[in-house]
Copies of this chain bind each other. A is one copy, B any other.
Amino acid sequence: MLEATLNEAATLKRLLDAVKELVQDANFECNEGGINLQAMDNSHVALVAVKLHADGFALYRCDRPIPLGVNLGSLTKVLKCAKDDDKCTLKANDDADVLSLKYEAHRGDRIAEYDMKLMDIDADTLGIPDTDYDARVTMTAAEFTRIVRDLSSLGESVRIEVSKEGVRFASDGEAAQGNILLKQTDAARERYENYGKDDEGDDDDDDDVVEVKQEDDEKPKKVKKEKVKKEEGVEDEDEEMASGDDEAEFKAKSEDEEEEVSESEKKKRKRPAASSSNSKAKKKAKKAVDDSAEGGGGGVHIEMTQHVSLTFSLKYLVNFSKSASLSDTVQLMLKNEVPLLVSYTFGQGYIRYYLAPKIGDD
Residues of A within 8 A of B (CB): 71, 73-74, 77-78, 80-81, 83, 105, 107-117, 143, 146, 150-151, 153-154, 175-183, 185, 188, 293-294, 298-299
Contact = CB atoms under 8 A, between A and B. Distances in A.
A114 B153 CA distance: 12
A176 B298 contact: no
Contact of A298 (B109, B146, B181): B109
Contacts of A107: 185, 293-294, 298-299
Given A81-B151, A81-B153, A154-B78, A176 B110 contact: no
Given A107-B293, A109-B183, A188-B109, A177 B77 contact: no
Question: Which has the most chain B C-beta neighbours within 10 Å: A78, A107, A108, A109?
Answer: A109
Given A107-B293, A107-B298, A293-B107, A113 B78 contact: no
* Main SS at interface, chain A: mixed
B117 A175 contact: yes
A117 to B, nearest CB: 6
Contacts of A74: 175-176
Sorted nearest first, the 3 A-B pairs with minimum C-beta distance are A74-B175, A114-B178, A81-B150
Contacts of A114: 154, 176-179
Contacts of A110: 143, 180-183, 298-299
A213 B115 CA distance: 29
Given A109-B298, A110-B180, 11 more contacts: A73-B175, A74-B175, A77-B154, A77-B175, A80-B150, A81-B178, A107-B185, A109-B185, A112-B178, A114-B177, A115-B178
